[in-house]
Structure 1
């Protein structure tokens, strides 16, 4: 116990098992350096992303205690996990659905932003003041050192708990480099128009001024979206496929 300015701290904070997503919205730092109106627009878009990502809080089981922390272009989305196996899978599903909804909204024509990140399961403490724990470090490491493209990587701790659950497996995609990422479009159907318009918003914002690294990220997003639309019952709407000119 410690006294600081007469206040007593009982040292009663402890970490517990959480599923943790650490997200980075690509390009926000550049938007902050633009004019005041652009900054305000970006800030409000980000806040609306948060609001609408939780719109299923009432109707979906497990949504009520999902927590967000937003600082600049980084977002943490976390949920405490139950010790009961069946409830634990529902907790994992709720978090994956929430993050998928966030990413679907981000890349659509309501926003037009790319998202990168990592999701893991591990020890964490979170309250209104602080976030602390190994799980946060692991999720951050996935985002900053491994994700590279606009994908949200899933680590081995999470994959082992998903196991062979038929519904949760649908959230898992395997990339060309054998890393596993969140297949966020699993939750979306007949969204080709919004995805194409969102991609055009990204291209319009860049106005042809993008480096090879940015071009690679755009191509990854384009290929993922087109592949998923082809895999679903949206093969007839070829006019909604994403396209970008070669460098």
Structure 2
């Protein structure tokens, strides 16, 4: 009998749903299960992504960089695995070294889309992503890559953001030296003030801002202005509901600053967002 453990090289994301314990308490107390149900609904996104018949993520299909490199190289439905328990979500994708940049692109877009679905319902996430040996099959998930991703999330990420490990970045075409070498994921990643590299649940709003209105509507189920306003309201609600809870309040304050730094071409909408958020912030700190 062969009991040998067969590790695979996989990119893995360990994602923590912030405030999950309180969501459960509230759902039991007042019967309001909206947020809990919204998490399950968002996870359906990944289940659809694993289906061969799923109309593939148009955020990748419309990317000029992806089209030049061949859209088929960005398909991950046969490589993707996902598990979740309590407040933790683990998503991994098997990699082939020669296509790691393509696979990572779709992986990032998928997590960014998932994060956006959650923030619409006032749910924040924090996570870490690494690459390495991993066993991820139904009922089994373990490996050094998972340990490192968890460590990133629990000790480094700190705020509602997804941090990419140095180990993974060294295997990617990052940073780019010329535009022709760019992959879709490049527009999602940023270097934060503390030196970490990653993205937030808000980054996709900046990426999507340049897309055709019809594609934008289809993905976000709303126009650009209403999507931005709804996201802004989520942050304002978080600030308002947690002004006596500094730990959570600071999470929303950090996200507010990230929101204000988004590059949005709709000047009128952007101006209104900044103005209202700054006034709100000043109200609490004067």
Question: What's the counterpart of residue 239 of structure 1?
Answer: 272
Deviation at 1:199, TM superposition (A): 4.3
Q: In the TM superposition, what is the alpha-carbon distance from 1:131 to its structure 2 partner?
A: 0.4
* Alpha-carbon distance in structure 2 between the residues aligned to 1:56 and 1:14: 25
Cα deviations across residues 94-143 of structure 1 (Å, max 9, x unaligned)?
Answer: 111111111122222xx121111101111100111010100101110011
- Taking structure 1 as the reference length, the TM-score comes to 0.84
Shift of 1:49: 0.9
- What is residue 111 of structure 2 aligned with on the other side? 99
2:89 to 65, 75, 99: 75
Equivalent runs, 1:183-194 vs 2, <5 Å: 184-185=203-204, 186-189=206-209, 191=224, 193-194=226-227
Residue in 1 that maps onto 2:44: 51
SS, match of residue 84 in structure 2: strand
After superposition, the Cα gap between the structure-2 partners of 1:73 and 1:226, relative to the gap in structure 1 and judged at 3 Å, is same
Report the counterpart of residue 145 of structure 2 in structure 1. 135
Identify the structure with the greater strand proportion.
Answer: 1
TM-score, normalised by the number of residues in structure 2 = 0.73
* Partner in structure 2 of residue 5 of structure 1: none
- Name the CA shift for 1:215/1:207 in 2 (closer, same or farther; >3 Å): closer
What are the equivalent positions in structure 2 for 1:144-183 lying under 5 Å apart? 144-163=154-173, 164=176, 165-167=181-183, 168-182=185-199
Aligned to 1:212: 246
Unaligned runs of 5+ in 2: 58-73, 210-222
Please point out which of 214, 223, 227 is paired with 2:257. 223
Does the residue aligned with 1:123 lie in a helix, a strand or coil?
strand
Post-superposition offset of 1:200:
2.6
Match of 1:50, SS state, is helix
Give the stretch that moved more between structures: 146-155 or 215-224: 215-224
Count of paired positions: 233
CA distance in 2, matches of 1:154, 1:177: 13
1:139-180 Cα deviation digits (max 9, x unpaired): 100110011110111111221122224223222111111111
Q: Which moved more, 1:198-207 or 1:148-157?
A: 198-207
Q: Which moved more, 1:151-160 or 1:62-71?
A: 62-71
Segment drifting more, 144-153 vs 205-214:
205-214
Moved more, 40-49 or 96-105: 40-49
| Compared CA separation, residues 82 and 29, structure 1 to 2 (3 A) | same
User: Which stretch of structure 1 is more off in the superposition, 56-65 or 156-165?
Assistant: 56-65
Gaps of 5+ in 1: 2-9
Larger fraction in helix? 2
How far apart are the structure 2 equivalents of 1:224 and 1:215? 14
The structural deviation recorded for 1:191 is 4.2
Call closer, same or farther: CA 1:42–1:216 in 2, change over 3 Å: same
Q: Say what the alpha-carbon RMSD is for the aligned residues.
A: 2.4
- Do 1:31 and 1:38's aligned partners in 2 also have CA atoms closer than 8 Å? no
SS of match in other structure, 1:162? coil
